[in-house]
Amino acid sequence: MKLPDGWSRAAAEFDEVNLVSFVGLAPVMVLAERAGLSELIAERVRIDPGATKVRSAGANPAGKLTTIIAGMLAGADCIDDLDAVRSGGMKRLFTGVYAAPTLGQFLREFTHGHAQQLASVARAHLVNLVQHSELLPGLAEQAYIDIDSLLRPVYGHAKQGASYGHTKIAGKQVLRKGLSPLATTLSTDRGAPVIAGIRLRAGKANSGRGAPSMITEAIRTARAAGATGEILIRGDSAYGTGPVVNACLKAGARFSVVLTKKTPVAATIAAIPADAWAPVTYPGAVLDPDTGELISDAEVAEIPFTAFASTTTPVTARLIVRRVRDKAHTDGLFPVFRYHPFLTNSTQDTAAADITHRQHAIIETVFADLIDGPLAGMPSGQFASNAAWTICAAIMHNLLRAAGTLTGTRYAVARGATLRRQLIAVPARLARPQRRPVLHLPQHWPWAQAWKTLWTASTAPPSAA
Domain residue extents for the chain: 13-115+396-403+415-464, 135-371
pLDDT at 284: 67
Count the neighbouring beta carbons within 10 Å of the beta carbon of residue 40.
22
**CATH architecture label of 135-371:** Alpha-Beta Complex (3.90)
Instruction: State mean pLDDT over 180-193.
Output: 96
Instruction: State residue 331's pLDDT score.
Output: 60
Helix (H, G, I), strand (E, B) or coil at 290: coil
Q: What is the pLDDT of residue 329?
A: 60
Report the candidate in 89, 90, 86 with the shortest Cα–Cα distance to residue 99.
Answer: 86
Confidence of residue 289 (pLDDT cuts 50, 70, 90): low
Render pLDDT for 232-277 as a digit per residue (tens, 0 to 9): 999 999 999 999 999 999 999 999 999 999 999 999 999 999 999 9
User: What pLDDT is recorded for position 266?
Assistant: 94
Using the predicted structure, report yes or no on whether residue 437 has a pLDDT greater than 80.
yes
First CA to last CA across the chain, in angstroms?
43
**Mean pLDDT value across residues 181-188:** 97
pLDDT at 334 over 70: no
Q: What angle do CA 176, 157, 199 make, to 5 degrees?
A: 60
Mean pLDDT for the chain overall: 91
Quick one: pLDDT band at residue 170, thresholds 50, 70, 90? low
> Given this model, what pLDDT does residue 464 score?
43
Contact status, residue 371 vs residue 365, Cβ threshold 8 Å: no
**Phi then psi for 351, rounded to 5 degrees?**
-65, -45
**227 pLDDT exceeds 60?**
yes
CB 302 within 8 A of CB 338: no
Task: Spell out the residues 6+ positions from residue 370 whose beta carbon is closer than 8 angstroms to its own.
Answer: 393, 397, 416
Q: Are 180 and 202 in contact (CB under 8 A)?
A: yes
Q: Provide the pLDDT confidence category of residue 288 given band limits of 50, 70 and 90.
A: low
Confidence (pLDDT) at 69: 97
pLDDT of residue 463 exceeding 60, the answer is: no
Higher-scoring residue by pLDDT: 172, 130? 130
Mean pLDDT of 148-174: 85
> How confident is residue 465, by pLDDT bands cut at 50, 70 and 90?
very low
The beta-strand segments (E) located in 100-156 are 142-149, 152-153
Mean pLDDT of 423-443: 92
According to DSSP, residue 4 is labeled P
For residue 172, pLDDT over 90 is answered with no
pLDDT of residue 461: 73
3-state SS, one letter per residue, for 331-361: CCCCCCEEEEEEEECCCCCHHHHHHHHHHHH
* DSSP code for 441: P
Out of 141-155, 202-216, 331-345, which region has the weakest mean confidence (pLDDT)?
331-345
pTM: 0.92
Q: Which of 54, 386, 442 is nearest to 198 (CA)?
A: 386
Task: Tell me the residue type at 155.
Answer: Y
Task: Answer yes or no: is pLDDT of 5 > 90.
Answer: no
Q: Which residue has the higher pLDDT, 330 or 356?
A: 356
24-74: per-residue pLDDT in tens?
A: 999 999 999 999 999 999 999 998 887 777 778 888 999 999 999 999 999
pLDDT at 11: 83
